[in-house]
Amino acid sequence: MTNQKEKIVALYVRVSTGYQVDKDSLPFQKKELKAYCEHVLHVDKKRIEVFEDAGKSGKNTKRPAFERMMGKVKAGKVSHVVVYKIDRITRNLVDFSLMYDDFKYNNVTFISLNEQFDTSSAIGEAILKIILVFAELERKLTSERVTDVMIGRAQSGQWNGARVPYGWDWDAENKCPVHSKKEAPYAKAMYQMYLDGGSSVTIRDYNNSHNIPTKRGGEWTSKTVADFLRNPINKGAYRYNYRESARGKRKADEEVIYMEGVFPPLIDPEIWNEVNRRMDANHTRKNTSAMHPIRKNCNVFAGLIVCGKCGSNYQVTAKDRRRGNGFRPSSYACTGKYQKKHCDNLNVSDVKIGPFMINYIAAIIDASKSRRFIKDTESLERVILSHIDFTDVAGISESSLQDTIDLLYGRSGAETLSGKPVSKDGKNTDTTEKKKELQEKLQKTDRALERLKKAYLFDDDAMDEKEFLEMKTKLEVNKVKLENSIKSLDSSSISENVDQAAFIKSASQFLISHKINSGGNIEYSELAMMDEEAMKTLMNSIIDHITVMDRHITEIVFKNGLTHTLLYR
């Protein structure tokens, strides 16, 4: 730290006009200040440094010498700042109070010769506090004047500078919002859609699927739709001072300025009122507790479901109504639905996914215990399908069955069990050559699908139903993967190599702990109600992802890379 006696004494001088410079005002100020330092402060001349702003106004602090001096103050290199008159350093009381905060923080004494102002004395400090009181008063008066002006503008229908909302444009000539010729029809349609039984979600989906952009050109969310429907400007009212900032918390009602009939209504006020009444009712109904206590939601398959059409992940949309036993299944939807591509893959629920997956896992456990009786893929398929109570499953792909037999007997020949990470969507490095190669493979896959369909439909001896379904499913899955790889070639490995039988062991322990035998059908809802968190832990510990297509599970990829492809009629 710099010793106090080693710090400089800063003499600040300023004149605002060339005339004052010519009339020796600057030399006069410097002479008086140096004399004061020599005879009163008894400062060594080597410690004195003059900061001089010639021809600079005192209305603000944007002055080269002043900024240079304040830099040294903040660096702790200054012991005193001495001026001839207070107005030489600033004429703005607010600037002065901010400047003095820096002085006080860095232990700098401020002295003004003309006003006999020296903050090292009690009187000087008292005078300073009086000045700061007036500075604070000036700030508050200025704020009040600005607020009064803004309120006055709002009351007279003048816009206060915020971005105009959707459905409105800015009229630069009249300086006010006007109905947007482009957006107004869509804005009115949204209110009508809500009146016709829609919701912020259905309106969001409609806008995104029909390429109707938001005000900023982005995609709609349920919140942006709700905010639009709630905005009172659409019925001609003006609301000002509503939030702390653009997206800050709401202010108290007494601070909000709200005036009806300021602008020409974009939406009939009666329609606006009815839509908002329904939104209030829906919000109240959604947050009303039922007979069962509200508990933190647990969504067992959250993050595990992948769309078989567009490759997007599924997200949780809601907890369905509570069943008689108290179980509330989760619903999941493709995130592609809420984007411009608007995927049309169907939603899925724990009601179907849960029983299928828990019984499928139980079937593999049963197969592992009975492996000495399983000699081929057909016998393995019979064991697994005997646990699944869905008649539309035609079978399991031959490669999936063979890989499972290899796992059960400890073989390592299958590529999926070799320890090589399996890609969730088949993506590879982003190169022009690779993209070209993928496009060629996609074209070949399309041609193969057409030939397969023709062979099955027109050649009675070509193949049986299961063989056709297996080949068709394999080609369709490959097509989806190729399409997704072309869209984005970033690699995404699902996992490192895992002990090949680890998932069987963990699943078995879970089922045994709940006293469930693998030989019979398992009631998923009862098991989930017993311990839904444990069910979620189980699924996440052994499943990497599940691919769904029109509510059918078409592919199950386990953590160790084992993949089961299911065939449907």
Residues classed as catalytic: 16
Q: In angstroms, what CA-CA distances link 337 with 54, 344, 379, 484, 485?
A: 66, 7, 40, 16, 20
Q: How far apart are alpha carbons 251 and 562 in whole angstroms?
A: 56
- Can you list the alpha helix ranges (DSSP code H) found in 80-199? 86-89, 93-105, 122-155, 184-195
Whether 390 and 362 have beta carbons less than 8 Å apart is answered as no
Which residue type does 485 have? S
Whether 363 and 387 have beta carbons less than 8 Å apart is answered as yes
Whether 271 and 443 have beta carbons less than 8 Å apart is answered as no
Residue with tokens 């605002």: 16
**Per-residue exposure over 100-129, b if at least 16 CB sit within 10 Å of its own CB, e if not:** beebeebebbbbbbeeebbbeeeebeebbe
Q: Taking the CA atoms of the chain, what radius of gyration do you get in angstroms? A: 38
Which residue type does 361 have? I
Q: 229: which 2 tokens? A: 């429907």
Residue with tokens 């009249």: 174
The DSSP call for residue 294 is: P
Whether 200 and 229 have beta carbons less than 8 Å apart is answered as yes
The total of other beta-carbon atoms located within 10 Å of residue 51's CB is: 22
